[in-house]
Structure 1
Amino acid sequence: MTTTIQVVAGVASQDDTVLACRRAPGRASEGLWEFPGGKVEPGELPQDALTRELREELDADVAVGALLDRSTVPVGELVIDLACYEVTFRGAPPVHSTDHDELRWVTREQLGELDWATPDLPMVRRLTAS
């Protein structure tokens, strides 16, 4: 039986760059890049989950905007249902994370140079195609 996990991620833009976060050593998918976010808890709205996750991971307050992409991707024994939303930081952008060892603002052209976690690839492709 396959287990599906509902996950949300925030795509933050600043000028002509997008925020990418690298998973820290000792974490699942360590060393891979992703858009910040996390699991949706039972009974939680995706937008509320994203607000909570970015507060926990990045100590950041965000405004959640439009749904940019939603893709279902198999990863090992799991299926990741990832919804990516546009987010805007209220106040200064984050400079540290509890789950990541590097936060980097990259241009859309540079996105393809990073080693992305599989669930984030559909959103990366969407950003690099536009």
Structure 2
Amino acid sequence: MHYTPVVAGIVIRGNRFLAARRPAGSSFGGLWEFPGGKVEPGETLEQALVREFDEELRIKPLKAKLWQECRKSYPQGLHVWLYFFIVTQFKGDPDPLEGQTLAWLTPEEAAGKTFLPADVEIVGRLARLMHR
């Protein structure tokens, strides 16, 4: 089975993290996620994160560390290998360039939102990390 590599950035500011809600009418419309996207051929994971953040949010991650990875298969036949980065420093102000809604959430607020299936477990782990 082929897994498509995907990067996601968990941008942390104080006791909150940045989440994006997919626009209605898009794939998985209305669900929340961590910003990111597919790794292009020839890109490193870090290069993909920088490119995706520029394309989606117009921000540049300055300090990002690979934190978790997982594989997820969706009923539509999509198989992804997700690489989650913790981003603690960035340049710019997040701007939703792809029609998404952005929100800075606490882990408690995130618990009341519906995240993509691959992100749900990560939200729980993130809550434990942020409350250390």
Query: What are the Cα deviations for residues 27-62 of structure 1, in whole angstroms up to 9, with x where unaligned?
Result: 211100000000001111011001001101111122
Aligned partners of 1:72 and 1:97: how far apart in 2?
27
RMSD, aligned CA: 1.4
Who is 1:86 aligned against?
86
How many residues align? The count is 127
- How much has 1:99 moved relative to structure 2? 4.7
Q: Which blocks of at least 5 consecutive residues in structure 2 are unaligned?
A: none
Who is 1:126 aligned against?
125
Q: Could you tell me whether the CA contact under 8 Å between 1:23 and 1:31 is conserved in 2?
A: yes
Who is 1:98 aligned against?
98
Deviating runs (4+, > 6 A) in structure 1? none
Aligned partners of 1:48 and 1:17: how far apart in 2?
25
- How much has 1:95 moved relative to structure 2? 3.4
Q: Could you tell me whether the CA contact under 8 Å between 2:31 and 2:115 is conserved in 1?
A: yes
Who is 2:46 aligned against?
47
Equivalent pairs: percent with the same residue? Answer: 35
Aligned partners of 1:90 and 1:12: how far apart in 2?
11
Amino acid at match of 2:82: L
| TM-score, normalised by the number of residues in structure 1 | 0.90
Q: Which blocks of at least 5 consecutive residues in structure 1 are unaligned?
A: none
Q: Could you tell me whether the CA contact under 8 Å between 2:58 and 2:95 is conserved in 1?
A: no
Aligned partners of 2:114 and 2:57: how far apart in 1?
21
Q: Could you tell me whether the CA contact under 8 Å between 1:80 and 1:119 is conserved in 2?
A: no
Who is 2:72 aligned against?
73
Q: How does 1:18-57 map to 2 (within 5 A)?
A: 18-57=17-56
Q: Secondary structure at the match of 1:113?
A: coil
Q: Secondary structure at the match of 2:3?
A: strand
Q: Secondary structure at the match of 1:63?
A: strand
Q: Secondary structure at the match of 2:68?
A: strand
Q: Could you tell me whether the CA contact under 8 Å between 2:58 and 2:94 is conserved in 1?
A: yes
